[in-house]
Chain A
Amino acid sequence: MLEQLKDTIKKALPELDFVIGWGMGFDALHATPLFMYEPEDVDKLVWGPLNVHNLATYLPALKGRKVGIVVKGCDSRSVAELLQENLINREDVVIFGAPCRGTVSLTKIRKVIGNTGLIEDVNYADGTLTVKAEGASHEMALKDIRADKCGYCRFPNAVLSDHFVGEKRAPQVEEDTFEDLAEFESQPFEERRDFWMKEMDRCIRCYACRNACPLCVCRDHCVAQSRDPHWLSQQDGVRDKFMFQIIHATHLAGRCTTCGECERACPVDIPVLLFKRKFTKAIKDTFDYDAGLDPEATPPLLAFKANEDNIKEKEW
């Protein structure tokens, strides 16, 4: 399937400035974004559970250039959302899709193999990832170390693509039941508050969550740094860190496709995707809407209905 994907990209490449995909990074465990300009670059392409990045994040900055992009199902939703928001032009983007079996969480792998310096070899076969590091070999079932989002994945195949390679896979679940959120919210308020105060205390304000987010498009005018308007202070403390996450999640309400890049990029493993899960569920419950499925849809927060179906404000 990978060869077929490479062939497809090679065929399309002459028409494009370049195609974005994944190649191997500094070791066998870490994939890295790959920019393919020439056919020989395409040979470096990899496809598998290590393709953790959502490459759609690059697209808004490349608006106006003709580029190709390789997407997993979840990444394709980001592309759809960017199209809907006029942040990229459909005619400028060529989308290569392939069925995804899920991606790993490097955090979970690190918990198994420890903070090791040198990865010697990585093998993936039949749903099992084998990592050799510092002389030891670790066998891990993918379902134990996959990203949380893959557990409730409804779209393993690209929701839109120009070229789709391979056989479409059945979704992991039919309906997202938000069990993770329900479990978290079953705790009393004090525990939840203490949880976030503790988690957010680790935040080093690197804003990797923002930079990795494909839909964070304020660029140089992010509230995190802006003095006009001056929403966040530069004071140290959990309050402003927490405030930023709330603003981020609020801005993504009805837009976020829960691709999980924010949480994946976080160097201190703060579960910030949970904020977005909360908003996503609220949007789903209130408006029965999923972001990033239809580039032509009008998202509910941009629409005006005098009487919303699920908001009862008039009772006569």
Chain B
Amino acid sequence: MKIGVFVCHCGSNIEGTVDTKTVAEASLDFPEVTFATDTMYACSEPGQDGIIEAIEEHKLDGVVVASCTPRMHEPTFRKTLERAGLNPYMFEMANIREHVSWIGKDREANTNKAADLVRIAVEKLRRNQPLTPKEFDINRRVLVIGGGVAGIQAALDCAEAGLEVVMVERESTIGGKMAKLDKTFPTVDCSSCILGPRMVEIAQHPNITLYAYSEVESVSGYVGNFEVQVKKKATYVDWAKCTGCGECVEKCPSRKAPDPFNELLAPGRAINIPFPQAIPKKAYIQAEHCIKLTKDKCGNCAKVCPSDAINFEAKDEIITEEVGGIIAATGYDLFDWTVYEEYGGGRYPDVVTSLQYERMLSASGPTGGHVKRPSDGKEPKKVVFIQCVGSRDKSVGRPYCSGFCCMYTAKQAILTKDHIPDSESYVFYMDIRAPGKLYDEFTRRAMEEYGAQYIRGRVGMVYPDGEGQLVVRGADTLMGTQVEVKADLVVLAVGAEAAKNSPQLAEKLRISYDAYGFFMEGHPKLKPVETNTAGVYLAGACQGAKDIPASVGQGSAAAAKVIGLFSKEKLKSDPQTALVDIKRCIGCGKCAETCPFGAINMTEFRGQPKAEVLETVCQGCGLCAATCPQGAVQLKHFTDNQILAEVEALCRF
């Protein structure tokens, strides 16, 4: 074997603390290395051309590039090798940037370490085998999980591109958090007026199948060929018959059921249609609050239903859908602010969350759009807004900024003035974060035109004064004083956290999630909607708190990724898969049991049970290789011998 080594300067990224020329010279001593050079930017066009020329001139049959992470440029260089007529897998990368130059300053030590890493790569490359990918068909259907504004956008874009879309929504209606909002910043246009038509489109689009009140139960398969089990939760209402007339809701005597759509501001009914524009506009029964289902009495809804849609015998149903791509758009939930004892910990009725306030402002909300104090129904004249509740606060484990609270608080201050012209608004804030288009102008308007009083400082305490008002005591860090404001209503700008059960869904989708449960994108800058699992994409706040424009943007971006994926005729499987040596295999089946992808079949060979890897299904994770007690399963390109050779190369003394 003739190996060529290319040591990249990466401008000064590597050359700054690694003597690349010395590394290249040292490489010439490694076994089977016949050519070595340093190069300014290996990934640039002249850099790649240099590799191709060297391959031709020196008749190389393997290449090591010592540069950055393979996550970044391994595909680049594999293509370079292909262009030079070599098998793309006769290539190894030594990461001397992230693993060397960026983390150490000692030039001599760095140079030695870089040379060691090249030696490791050479030893591995010497044992590489040429690999060829297999091709397989794509199922051109896409699953969108979550019917908020990001999911809606993604689904509509995909459907418009001619793809079949399956949308799964946990609640009984799509619309997500945006459907709960009264108005949207910075234009103060009505939320349901702009979202409503898009929701209707979802319902009417011939390419979209909507499963509302459903959850993803399990996901198997791989990019291009996923099999998804969807659990349709029992609604106890036959949606094929239900016309959404609302007769049943009127007559339901169970009036203490929670009304999650209205953020529990007012009690709801056991049978419910969340709001007038709901899609699908169908009733569902909350079983644990239904008198018929809990005590076998009542049944009023069944009596009044004109279309005979009520079915108390209904059961959860599992539906299997086959798709080729998945977009997760599961959004966010509000932080549980009641951990803040200083704001009353949930004990004072007139301390409400921003989303509850949003429902008060909304004409379809429980107060019909009239702002009323939950305690006595009076119109508040002084409203205090407290920002950063569960955001930028390490003490409650939420150090990140939720991003949109500054803006919606300004909007709510403006709307308060609109609803109650003789009202005063106070906003306690840390910093105002208004970096979007027209955002800063909008917050200025709240202050200058609508007279919202902005006080820079944190609130230390909220307590009732005993006369019906709340005292908000906080710091004014600009004035350097303590301030006390008497308030009729306190609105907490509660921050976002990952939607409930996000980690569980991530595990089903086999994608990563961060310490807060937000899904991890493939790369924070260059792969914002991809995940590290092929065929699974992200849209909206499930990846991190986001406002509506950003969520919609990501919805479209994720759709574009799926459309791009499906525009290929066939997909190529990564040939770095597991391989069973049937001489060694004793047929114990442990590999098949541990394989998370169902990529191992048990077959028979001359009457003996043997394991067999389905190459297009195998994702090359290596669990089977680690499990096999006989070492009969080896991961191509990561065989035990390759790993051992790497260890031996490192531990030479």
Contact = CB atoms under 8 A, between A and B. Distances in A.
Given A85-B590, A86-B587, A229-B644, A304 B632 contact: no
Contacts of A304: 594, 596
A221 B503 CA distance: 41
A221 B590 contact: no
A228 B641 CA distance: 6
A230 interface: yes
Interface in A15-40: none
Size category of the binding interface on chain B: 20 to 34
20 contacts: A86-B587, A86-B589, A86-B609, A87-B586, A217-B588, A217-B630, A218-B629, A219-B586, A221-B583, A221-B630, A221-B631, A226-B631, A229-B631, A230-B644, A231-B640, A231-B644, A251-B629, A301-B627, A302-B627, A304-B596
A231 B583 CA distance: 18
B639 interface: yes
Interface in A258-306: 298, 301-302, 304, 306
Contacts of A251: 629
Contacts of B640: 229-231
Nearest to B626: A301
A189 interface: no
Contact of A229 (B589, B593, B639): B639
Nearest to A306: B507
Contacts of B627: 301-302
B368 interface: no
Question: Which of B397, B586, B634 has most chain A Cβ within 10 Å?
Answer: B586
B584 interface: yes
Nearest to A227: B641
Size category of the binding interface on chain A: 20 to 34
A301 B629 CA distance: 12
A161 B450 CA distance: 85
Contacts of A229: 631, 634, 639-641, 644
Contacts of B588: 85-87, 217
A293 to B, nearest CB: 18
Contacts of A133: none
B479 interface: no
A229 B634 CA distance: 9
Nearest to A315: B515
A238 interface: no
Interface in B485-503: 503
Interface of A: 60, 85-87, 217-219, 221, 223, 226, 228-231, 251, 298, 301-302, 304, 306, 316
Contact of B631 (A85, A218, A298): A218
B516 to A, nearest CB: 8
Contacts of A85: 588, 590
Interface string B579-602: 000011011111001101000000
Given A228-B641, A302-B594, 17 more contacts: A60-B586, A85-B590, A217-B588, A218-B586, A218-B630, A219-B586, A221-B583, A221-B584, A221-B632, A223-B631, A229-B631, A229-B634, A229-B639, A231-B640, A304-B596, A306-B503, A306-B504
Nearest to B583: A221
A316 B397 contact: yes
A316 B641 CA distance: 39
A100 B405 CA distance: 73
User: What's the dominant secondary structure at chain A's contact region?
Assistant: loop
Contacts of B507: 306
Contacts of A223: 631
Nearest to B506: A306
Interface in B425-439: none
Nearest to A217: B586
Nearest to A85: B588
A306 B594 CA distance: 14
Nearest to A226: B631
Question: Which of B503, B515, B609, B629 has most chain A Cβ within 10 Å?
Answer: B629
B631 A302 contact: no
A302 B590 contact: yes
A228 B630 CA distance: 12
Contacts of B644: 229-231
A298 B627 CA distance: 14
Interface string B386-414: 00000000000100000000000000000
Contacts of B503: 306
Nearest to B515: A316
A251 B595 CA distance: 18
Question: Which of B583, B593, B596, B644 has most chain A Cβ within 10 Å?
Answer: B593
A192 B228 CA distance: 53
A222 to B, nearest CB: 9
A171 to B, nearest CB: 30
B641 A230 contact: yes
A7 to B, nearest CB: 36
Nearest to A228: B641
Contacts of A298: 593
A230 B648 CA distance: 11
B626 to A, nearest CB: 10
Contacts of B632: 221
A150 B634 CA distance: 40
A298 B592 CA distance: 13
Contacts of B504: 306
Interface in B565-620: 583-584, 586-590, 593-594, 596, 609
Nearest to A221: B584
Nearest to B596: A304
A231 B639 CA distance: 12
A170 to B, nearest CB: 35
B409 to A, nearest CB: 27
A295 B593 CA distance: 15
A223 B641 CA distance: 12
A219 B639 CA distance: 20
A302 B590 CA distance: 7
Interface string B16-42: 000000000000000000000000000
A156 B644 CA distance: 43
Contacts of B634: 229
A101 B588 CA distance: 34
Contacts of A221: 583-584, 630-632
